[in-house]
Amino acid sequence: MILLDNSMVSLSQIAQIVPYSGPDALNPSILSFGPIKLFVLVGWFYLCLYCVQRVEYSTLVTERYKALVSVLSLVIGPFIFFVLSVADMTTKLQDGDIHFDDILSYLFGNAFVSRKNLATRKVRDENYIELLDSSGRNFFVEAGGKDVESLTDQKTLEFTHHILLEGIKQRASDILIDPKSSGIYTVRYRVDGYLRIVDEVETDRAKAMVNSIKAIAGMDIAERRRALDGAFMARISAGDVYFRVASAGVLGGEKLSLRVLNQAQGMLKLDQIGLSEEGHRLIKEAIDQPQGMVLVCGPTGSGKTTTLYGMLGEVDFYTRNVVTVEDPIEYVLPHASQMEVNPKANITFANSMRSILRQDPDIIVVGEIRDSETAKMAVQAAHTGHLVLATLHSSSNLATLARLIDLEIKPLVLASALHVIISQRLVRRLCDHCKQPAQPDAEQIASLERYGFDPGTVMQPVGCKKCNNTGFMGRVAIVDVLHVDDNLKATLTGEGVSLAQLKQDGDNRGRSHLRREGLAKVAAGITTIDEVKRVTTHLG
């Protein structure tokens, strides 16, 4: 009891025992929180937490340092907030094309969103990229474990991300990674049909990148000589981008070619392709027919597939059953049945056509007519209540007819099936941000005036940051639309149609019509005379 009594010390006793260390030591005003102090403290605390989030989604802090900076930001949050804000602001301003109020809303807009919103914001980040295998799973996350760690270290993955994302941003249609003799690899992008070197990478790093791409594309990493192919996809802020990968052993190492199929870019509409009003009307009329055939022709890389998809954009998928066979499928059409050619699995254009005809289609799209069998089935389908849209590799409209007759299609059958033949080339479109009025020379003025165009409105390429100093951005088609009218039908079905003559006539017409269409775009300041010459001189 005595002990207990001793241990029981009253508050008043404490007050006597503890001496004052100064006049303010236990001054109650220090401990009480006025509204301003409370605001500052809560604000500070909130900024600390907010900074942890900011760090996580910042594009300036690399993955490796994120944990460290997060911990630091808990302690000195507001300072990190301002440092990151200033740094973000500086890089954004340097990138150009962004206004100060954009930056303010970017900086402070984030401060009032919930964590969930911030995560979706991450998906909208322009530098966001996630690699998924062809079935849409996150390969590197789901595979987990040590195999993947050794396969692809963080640095390699980041570098791969960078190369792919840059390619997408620069609108590359292909990304090529191949070894040069001097022990380095080059990374090249094909943009608007032109290849350009974007990076040179030392062998070890390049090999690691090649392996990481092959792994995610489902290819055998150990096989370095035989030609392989695979596919994967990348999820970026704008949507999904598909990649088709082909590898092959070449002198000095292994070459990788990536075809970029950018679903996110979307399909071009028929009126965005570069058609004249008359051409657009003829095509529209043809695809509104219940049966018959529309052919798109041109050399490789002339935008045939884009025009094909453009036509499909005018079709009502709900009332018409659309079935396609393609090589490869470049855009996913949500309401169509799409088949992909795969020679290894014996899925060819010809035997796909057979299975398509059993699916009661209204519209059949044939990616490319390559052989007699496919040609015959396509023409037959066009005769039996189907609208057939197809592409064919040939130099001009009439040469296409010659080519089909060559593929054992009877002229009479052909004449009655065909509605319209579209012949086209792609020219580079002048960059709108830097093009300037040009002074055409006498020869150029003459050719423009020959077709009745005003030489005073011609523009020339200059080059700026937006177009990577090329002076060009994107491409536009020049198109010659041939309506298969009664006259032409009569010519085709008449006696003694000469293939050679048909081809010759076709090239003459093609040169004249494609050049006129091209010069119309030169006079409109859309492209240059050199571009038009480049794609039309080989004709005739």
- Positions that interact with Zn ion (CB under 5 A): 431, 433-434, 464, 466-467
Buried b (16+ CB within 10 A) or exposed e, 310-328: bbbbebeeeeebbbbbbbe
**In terms of CB distance, is 172 or 434 closer to Zn ion?**
434
**In terms of CB distance, is 464 or 524 closer to Zn ion?**
464
For residue 423, the surrounding DSSP H or E stretch is: strand 418-430
Closest CB 166 distance from Zn ion, rounded Å: 18
Closest CB 97 distance from Zn ion, rounded Å: 12
Strands 184-191 and 194-202: antiparallel
Asked if residue 328 has a cis previous peptide bond (ω within 30° of 0), the answer is yes
Closest CB 467 distance from Zn ion, rounded Å: 3
Closest CB 531 distance from Zn ion, rounded Å: 15
**Ramachandran angles phi, psi of 144, nearest 5°:** 50, -170
Q: Which residue is closest to Zn ion by CB?
A: 431
Closest CB 275 distance from Zn ion, rounded Å: 25
**In terms of CB distance, is 161 or 466 closer to Zn ion?**
466
**In terms of CB distance, is 139 or 472 closer to Zn ion?**
472
Judge contact between 234 and 132, C-beta under 8 A.
yes
**In terms of CB distance, is 48 or 464 closer to Zn ion?**
464
Residue 66 burial (CB count, 10 A)? 15
Torsion from C-alpha of 217, 221, 223, 225, nearest 10 degrees? 70
Rg (CA), the chain: 33
Give the contacts of 78 (CB within 8 A, at least 6 positions apart): 44, 47, 48, 51
Closest CB 473 distance from Zn ion, rounded Å: 6
**In terms of CB distance, is 414 or 467 closer to Zn ion?**
467
SS3 of 207-228: HHHHHHHHHHCCCCCCCCCCCE
**In terms of CB distance, is 291 or 468 closer to Zn ion?**
468
Judge contact between 349 and 254, C-beta under 8 A.
no
Give the contacts of 217 (CB within 8 A, at least 6 positions apart): 133, 134, 230, 231, 232, 243, 245
**In terms of CB distance, is 434 or 522 closer to Zn ion?**
434
Closest CB 430 distance from Zn ion, rounded Å: 8
| E runs forming strands in 141-252 | 172-179, 184-191, 194-202, 228-236, 239-250
**In terms of CB distance, is 171 or 235 closer to Zn ion?**
171
**In terms of CB distance, is 395 or 470 closer to Zn ion?**
470
Closest CB 170 distance from Zn ion, rounded Å: 13
Q: What is the Cα–Cα distance from 465 to 448, expressed in whole angstroms?
A: 31
Maximum separation of any 2 CA atoms in the chain, in Å: 134
**In terms of CB distance, is 322 or 431 closer to Zn ion?**
431
**In terms of CB distance, is 404 or 473 closer to Zn ion?**
473
Closest CB 194 distance from Zn ion, rounded Å: 15
**In terms of CB distance, is 224 or 466 closer to Zn ion?**
466
What is the distance of C-alpha 490 from the center of its chain?
A: 44
**In terms of CB distance, is 365 or 438 closer to Zn ion?**
438
Q: What is the Cα–Cα distance from 81 to 508, expressed in whole angstroms?
A: 67
What is the distance of C-alpha 228 from the center of its chain?
A: 23
SS3 of 375-396: HHHHHHHHHCCCEEEEEEECCC
Which two three-digit tokens encode residue 87?
């740094």
Judge contact between 401 and 506, C-beta under 8 A.
yes
Closest CB 271 distance from Zn ion, rounded Å: 25
Closest CB 431 distance from Zn ion, rounded Å: 3
At 519, is the secondary structure helix, strand, or coil? helix
Closest CB 437 distance from Zn ion, rounded Å: 15
Output the DSSP codes for 54-108: HHHH-SSS-HHHHHHHHHHHHHHHHHHHHHHHHHHHHHHHHH-S--HHHHHHHHH
Q: What is the Cα–Cα distance from 516 to 532, expressed in whole angstroms?
A: 9
Which two three-digit tokens encode residue 327?
């090589």
Closest CB 470 distance from Zn ion, rounded Å: 7
Adjacent-strand bridge partners of 427: 476
Closest CB 82 distance from Zn ion, rounded Å: 35
